[in-house]
Amino acid sequence: MDFFYDSGDEDSDDPLQTALRSIPDKLLPFREHAPSRLRMQQADGPFSAEYARTRHGFFSALVWRGVTFGTAFANDHTNSAVFTSLEDWKESVDACGPQEESYFCDRSAYGMCNPHRTPALVNKYWEATEEHNWEQFVERRIVPFTECYKWLTAGKPTHFYQLGGLAAYLLTCDYVYAGVVARPTISDGCHRAKHKSRCSERLREVGFD
């Protein structure tokens, strides 16, 4: 795998280096340099200017964050990163030939195993993007950070099934880098903090506006 940093001594038996090389999507502290994130940032990825504000771009982003994150499927550059429809997704899966489910979906992508995280979620995401219109939501504006996060996590259960708080937060951040969502403010950060006043004070102390 190619990264924009020195990946260290590949012959080293240091357990930390070994772990970082083996599962960088999960453990690499520089999230923008992780392999599947790099893949999604490319010109044919869902966060490109061409796709970031479209239904199929958003659907593809949901598929990545909700199903394929950290998998061999997501990191294989011969596989599509944008799916124009549910049928397009199915054709991409078929083109991979016989594979174990883990090739497409890591149930422990964000920590503990989630038995409900399966490739079947893709069908639900396509249906959800029809009912909850991303293109109308974002329009041509820069969406406030918390507004986007709340939109992604709305509903009980959430409109975008199994997209938990962490994945929704990360997806919101993805759209910040894509130029669709505004950078988070102190208020946005404190929205998710238990001790709002203390958090605000500490952030201002270190120079954040």
Q: What is the CA radius of gyration of the chain?
A: 18
The pTM of this model reads 0.82
Residue 147 CA to residue 55 CA, distance in Å, equals 18
Task: Give start and end residues of each alpha helix (H) in the chain.
Answer: 15-22, 24-27, 35-41, 55-63, 72-75, 86-95, 101-104, 121-131, 134-138, 145-152, 165-177, 186-191, 196-205
Asked if residue 1 lies in contact with residue 39, where contact means CB atoms within 8 angstroms, the answer is no
| Closest by CA position to 41, among listed 93, 83, 81, 84 | 81
| Closest by CA position to 22, among listed 62, 67, 63, 75 | 75
Could you state, in chain order, the average pLDDT of each consecutive group of 10 residues for the chain (209 residues)?
49 68 68 81 95 98 96 92 97 97 92 91 97 97 96 92 90 96 84 50 52
pLDDT at 15: 72
pLDDT at 121: 97
Q: Rounded to an integer, what is the distance from CA 208 to the centroid of its chain?
A: 25
Asked if residue 175 lies in contact with residue 181, where contact means CB atoms within 8 angstroms, the answer is yes
What phi, psi does 68 have (nearest 5°)?
A: -95, 0
According to DSSP, residue 183 is labeled P
